[in-house]
């Protein structure tokens, strides 16, 4: 099985600095993002396989494609394993959308209020629930490099949720920014030393704004 590849033009759109924020932007936020990058199992596998390399992602058999009497169907379609809560999606795409929405809402709040005292409990619980699922075990190749690991979607979502927890509870939480360019709501982590970065990327929005400003000052 080969790792799904994403078009270079698409890959360049993810410049947030954290994989959990990249994941949060797989749905439309402005004209730069495709309407839906993980709208089905194939899209989900492709995106996860691209950003979590060298993991190889395996998706469950879509609901409705197996005989109802098959005793393995329910287990195969369980999205989050070994959790006590019963309120969990059983479709992997739905699960991904649930986690994505929670991460995006929390990140948006933190980007606008660094001193927030009370984050939405439902979203916090959602992220914690997915983070509680065990991630894939790392593997080493005989040449000492990281070997490809086959991961299920629940394991991949756990990696994303854990990255979000680390970001939201760590020293970079106050560095989550929202791009200041008109028409762009992209979130990113400001890793600049002074902490004054304004745009998601110079290539994406910074140069465009500079060109517009220049034209406005030179046009009679």
**φ, ψ of residue 189 in degrees (nearest 5):** -100, 120
pLDDT tens for 61-109 read 444 443 444 333 333 322 323 332 334 566 999 999 999 999 999 999 9
Q: Which residues are registered as beta bridge partners of 140?
A: 146
Q: Determine the average pLDDT of the residues in 19-43.
A: 81
pLDDT at 189: 95
Residue 18: C-alpha distances to residues 4, 14, 64, 86 (Å): 20, 9, 35, 30
Q: Is 198 exposed, middle or buried (0-12, 13-18, 19+ CB in 10 A)?
A: middle
Q: What CATH number does the domain located at 8-218 have? A: 1.10.3300.10
Q: What is the pLDDT of residue 199?
A: 79
**Taking the domains of the chain in order of start, what are their residue ranges?**
8-218
State the pTM of this model: 0.76
Structure tokens at 162: 């854990």
Residue pair 60/7 in contact (Cβ under 8 Å)? The answer is no
pLDDT band at 185 (very low <50, low <70, confident <90, very high): confident
Are 100 and 26 in contact by the 8 Å Cβ rule? The answer is: yes
Q: Distance between alpha carbon 165 and the CA centroid of its chain, in Å?
A: 12
Mean pLDDT of 108-129: 91
Q: How far is it, in rounded angstroms, from Cα 39 to Cα 47?
A: 11
Q: Which of 120-129, 180-189, 202-211 has the lowest mean pLDDT?
A: 202-211
Q: Given this model, what pLDDT does residue 220 score?
A: 58
Q: Decide which of 69 and 158 is more confident.
A: 158
Whether 122 shows a pLDDT value over 90: the answer reads yes
Q: What average pLDDT does the structure give for the chain?
A: 77
């Amino acid at each position: 099985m080969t790792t799904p590849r994403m078009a270079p033009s698409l890959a360049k759109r993810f410049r947030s600095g954290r994989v959990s924020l990249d994941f949060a932007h797989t749905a439309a936020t402005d004209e730069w993002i495709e309407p839906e990058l993980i709208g089905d199992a194939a899209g989900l596998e492709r995106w996860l396989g691209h950003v979590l390399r060298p993991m190889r992602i395996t998706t469950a058999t879509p609901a409705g494609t197996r005989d109802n009497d098959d005793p393995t169907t329910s287990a195969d379609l369980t999205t989050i394993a070994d959790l006590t809560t019963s309120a969990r999606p059983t479709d992997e795409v739905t699960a991904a959308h649930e986690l994505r929405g929670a991460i995006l809402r929390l990140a948006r709040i933190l980007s606008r209020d660094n001193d927030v005292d009370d984050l939405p409990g439902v979203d916090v619980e959602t992220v914690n629930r997915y983070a509680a699922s065990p991630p894939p075990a790392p593997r080493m190749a005989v040449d000492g490099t990281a070997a490809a690991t086959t991961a299920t979607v629940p394991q991949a979502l756990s990696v994303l949720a854990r990255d979000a927890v680390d970001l939201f509870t760590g020293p970079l939480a106050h560095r989550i920014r929202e791009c200041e360019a008109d028409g762009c709501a992209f979130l990113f982590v400001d890793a600049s030393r002074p902490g004054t970065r304004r745009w998601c990327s110079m290539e994406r929005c910074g140069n465009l704004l500079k060109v517009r400003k220049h034209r406005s000052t030179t046009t009679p």
